[in-house]
Structure 1
Amino acid sequence: MTITTPQPGGGSTWLPDWRPEDQAFWESQGKARAWTTLILTTAALTMAFITWFLVSALVVRLPQIGFQFSPSQLFWLAAMPGLAGGTLRLVHMFLVPIYGTRHVVSLSTLSLLIPLTGWFYAVQNPATPFWVLMLLAFLAGLGGGNFSSFMPSTSMFFPKRLQGTALAIQAGIGNFGVSVVQFVTPWVIGFALLGGMAWIGEPQTMTRAGVDSQIYLQNAPLVMIPFVAVFGITAWLFLKSIPITSNFREQFDIFRSGNTWAQTSIYIMTFGGFSGLSATFPLLIRQVYGGFEGAPDPLAWAFWGPLVGSASRVVAGPVADRLGGARVTHWAGLGMLVSAFLVTLTLAPTSLDSFGLFVSAMLALFFFAGIGNASTFKQMPMLFPPRQAGGVIGFTAAIAAYGPFIFGMLFAWSFGAFQSAAPVFYGLIVFFAFNVVLNWVLYARKNAPFPC
């Protein structure tokens, strides 16, 4: 880690000094700057998650407006943002120590305008080729990549005693973007925006349960575009970068620690589970319960999962600060394990009678995943010094961001081979059990070698 002074010509970007562990410095100027940065970057991160999960809200409507895609193709579309998000996070994890918070947050936020504009046009034409939608789905992953630069940046702005709370607030509110896009989409597509001006496009005819209605699916990306533009410009105008820098090569030292790999596995359980199920929950409802008369609208239910998980992440941050991240992760993992088992009891329904238990078990799974997301991000800053902690947060977040891609592929395989989602959840039960034991042995038990 290198403490630097502002570079020539960079006075508007780099702060001259940053010492959050110094109480006098924190109270006099650090606290205000840190919380301001948290607010601005959290707003931008929320838009990143909205963009990242936009495809999950659109994909269930595509067959209803004339797109001729198989279930496997739909799961591929839902999975593609996860592939991009995880890959781009592997890049983002290195950016803040090189370019600084201001440049990374503002420019990466403005980049979200590319997929949003693309989806605005693509959904208006059912003849849009599948490969074009796959490309746009991949570009939606730009939003997923942002997490691995925004979160390490935040961890550097706060003292260790507050990092669990700050990271939980940022990630939890950012995660609300998943619920926002899945909740807003069914509502906003139901009417013409701005009085039906010509440039907004024509409505599409949606056929659902034999009933035709007119919708504007392009409204879903359109309403997000001005918010992205405003937040990106605001970040450029008001954010500063802290003088903690490192080159690309120096940041690879995190991979020499076994804790990096253990924390990665645990975070795959928590955030990988959250993000993967958030992206596939609408399609899962459609595939498992969509064949019954009076079947539920997937988007009327799917947004509750990420909403519950995001809320529990915000609440669990201060709890992890008080009780310790490892202990909270332990109980969160056990909760995820039990919830996944309950889900398996509802995946071969003969009627809609088991839908209530299915949704309840899924919401419990999201709830405990959200708690685990917060507690694991409390563990990492306790195990590593600030610059390395930022790198570990970025790396674990990058790998876990493959959740939507992995889950999409697993469900596509499972339905194709077994006509059921049960094999996926059986595998999750085994994986959750492994990580509960790993966390207990290394971090949570009495006399653990790395208590955190």
Structure 2
Amino acid sequence: MTAAVAATGQQSDTPVFTHQKKGRWLDHWEPDNTEFWESGGKLTARKNLIFSVFAENLGFSIWVIWGTVVTSMGLAGFDFLAGLGKGNPTAVSNALLLTSTPTLVGAALRIPYTFAIPKFGGRAFTAFSAAMLLIPTLGLAYFVNHPGTPMWVFMILAALAGFGGGNFSSSMANISFFFPEGKKGAALGINAAGGNLGVAQTQLVLPLLITLGTHIMAKDAAGYRFGITLSVLVWVPFILIAIFGALRYMDSIGTAKADGKSYKLALTNKHTWVMSFLYIGTFGSFIGFSFAFPTLIKANFPDLAKIGWITTLGNLAFLGALVGSFSRPFGGWISDKVGGAKMTIYVFGGMAIACVLIMAGLKAKSFPLYLIAFLLLFVLSGIGNGSTYRMIPSIFNAEAKKYAAEHGLDLVDAAASAKRQAGAAIGVIGAIGASGGYLLQQALRLSNINFHSMNPAFWAYAGAFLVMAAVTWFCYLRSSFAVARVPSLAYANV
């Protein structure tokens, strides 16, 4: 019941909701109504969350698939990647170009995918976005068996894999409509974690399947082509299940509306752009290094190929995305206790140190030091993802309260407006942050081309992380809350 009904003791006019397993259009959805939620709304929301997590996990899996596939394509007979395991600069550059392309496309799709849910419905668009994953998977499975295929064809397929990155925004937007305010954070956290784990999952499973394929055939180019084909086609049945599950069991909320006005106001708020810059450093690092990590290990430590079990496990590259995914919730939790801005400064300082340790590992040719330093970087980027996301609603809420106090506005209305603007800003910040993964990989590629070394790129990263720490302090920690120096925005009637 609503608060007004509970206070008067009158019966709610809202019909009791009936949960159904089969998907449908929901013409009325009121999750914040306790009677509505407990009578069946809760079961329907959880049902949609389960299928959403499954589809989003596959989206991340296909998005990151090129990060692992490129490490075996040279051995499969593709000359433009030959010598990657020996650090060939041209092969390393081409590999980073192929792994960074999906990152850029996925980032670009995040905003339009967010608006697609209210327009097409969660059920139809989840099925569509899952079906789009069949194009890059089946295309790669076909063309990888034609060694004469030019690189530009694979660039197109890598770009199409970027559709998996857009799935994150549509999935998050869809689930946000299903849950009440008090449970939305946990539901979105589960949804995001399920997607992020797809990165580690792919980087663990693909090398195993490629190794299995070469053992079934032979350890020659044809064997590697078979192994890559096997590692790609294994996702097809799961994609088909995701499509069927979405069409059969997911629901669409007819009353879900895109909040275009809040998006426009969020775009004019300087905090949106400051936080986008900071999120490039956290999420951009997580996704960029996740895509590039298998290539970096293979190029910098070719002797690992002599250790069978390590190469079978993809040179342990999956550990990076794994620890980064699990550390993200910790970042939000600890930020609740010490403050998001303070935690973010610590994160950027630690990431700069991790970059120095990575260079030390390269100089000493020590794979254990290199791996530990990278895992530290991944853990910190995950914590930073949580702490920066925690900062966004706090910033908008503090600014709204200040504006309301100065202009005599109702604090409740101002807080509601801030919440909507923060939600819109998160979509923009997420898209720009993901594009940071592309910039990071391009910096590695250009450093390798121009200096035949990764060190200049890592020095640049360390410097950038320190700049981001300084920006965080300057904007949010110089006083108890630095929004007082930011021009106020129109929070009324948003």
**Deviations for 1:47-99, whole angstroms, at most 9, x for unmatched residues?**
00100011111000001111101322222111111121112223223223433
The worse-fitting range, judged by mean Cα deviation, of 401-410 and 143-152 is 401-410
Structure 1 residue 366, shift from structure 2 partner: 0.3
1:24 Cα shift?
5.7
The answer to whether the 8 Å contact 1:147/1:397 transfers is no
What is the DSSP-based 3-state SS (H/G/I as helix, E as strand, rest coil) of the residue aligned with 1:348? helix
Letter in structure 2 aligned against 1:91: P
Partner of residue 7, structure 1? none
Find 1:138's aligned residue among 159, 169, 179: 159
In 2, the alpha carbon distance for the partners of 1:332 and 1:162 equals: 28
1:231 aligned residue (220, 242, 254)? 242
Cα distance in 1 for partners of 2:31, 2:142 equals 48
Larger radius of gyration: 2
SS in 1 for 2:388: helix
* Counterpart secondary structure, 2:363: coil
CA shift for structure 1 position 162: 4.4
- Seen in structure 2, the aligned counterparts of structure 1 residues 97 and 324 have a Cα distance that, compared at 3 Å, is farther
Pairing 1:1-400 to 2, within 5 Å after superposition: 12-20=24-32, 26-27=37-38, 29-69=40-80, 70-71=90-91, 72-191=93-212, 203=217, 205-206=219-220, 215-242=226-253, 243-246=255-258, 251-290=263-302, 294=306, 297=311, 299-320=314-335, 325-349=340-364, 351=365, 354-382=366-394, 383=396, 385=418, 387-400=420-433
Deviates more, 1:121-130 or 1:383-392: 383-392
1:447 alignment partner in structure 2: 480
**What's the CA shift string for 1:4-26, capped at 9, x where partnerless?**
xxxxxxx9324413343x55655
Alignment-mate amino acid for residue 76 of structure 2: I
Please provide the CA RMSD for this pair.
Answer: 3.0
1:218 CA drift (Å): 0.3
Distance (whole Å) between structure 2 residues aligned to residue 130 and residue 110 of structure 1: 25
TM-score of the superposed pair, with normalisation by structure 2: 0.78
Shift of 1:274: 0.3
Query: Structure 1 residues 403 and 439, CA, compared in 2 at 3 Å: closer, same or farther?
Result: same
Change (3 A) 1:168 1:436: farther
More divergent stretch after superposition (214-223 vs 67-76): 214-223
Residue 249 of structure 1 deviates from its aligned partner by 7.0
Following the alignment from structure 2 to structure 1, what is the Cα–Cα distance between the partners of residues 478 and 54?
A: 37
Structure 2 residues without counterparts, runs of 5 or longer: 1-22, 81-89, 398-417, 485-494
Question: Do the aligned residues in 1 keep the contact of 2:24 with 2:250 (CA within 8 Å)?
Answer: no
Give the Å deviation of 1:345: 1.8
In the alignment, the residues of structure 1 paired with residue 224 and residue 149 of structure 2 have an alpha-carbon distance, to the nearest angstrom, of 21
- Which structure 2 residues correspond to residues 411-422 of structure 1 after superposition, within 5 A? 411-422=444-455
Identity %: 34
Choose the corresponding residue for 2:458, options 425, 429, 433: 425
1:395 Cα shift? 1.7
Q: 2:56 is matched by which residue type in structure 1? A: L
Q: TM-score, normalised by structure 1?
A: 0.84
The structure where helix makes up a greater share of residues is 2
- How far is 1:204 from its partner? 6.9
Counterpart CA distance in 1 for 2:453 and 2:105 is 27
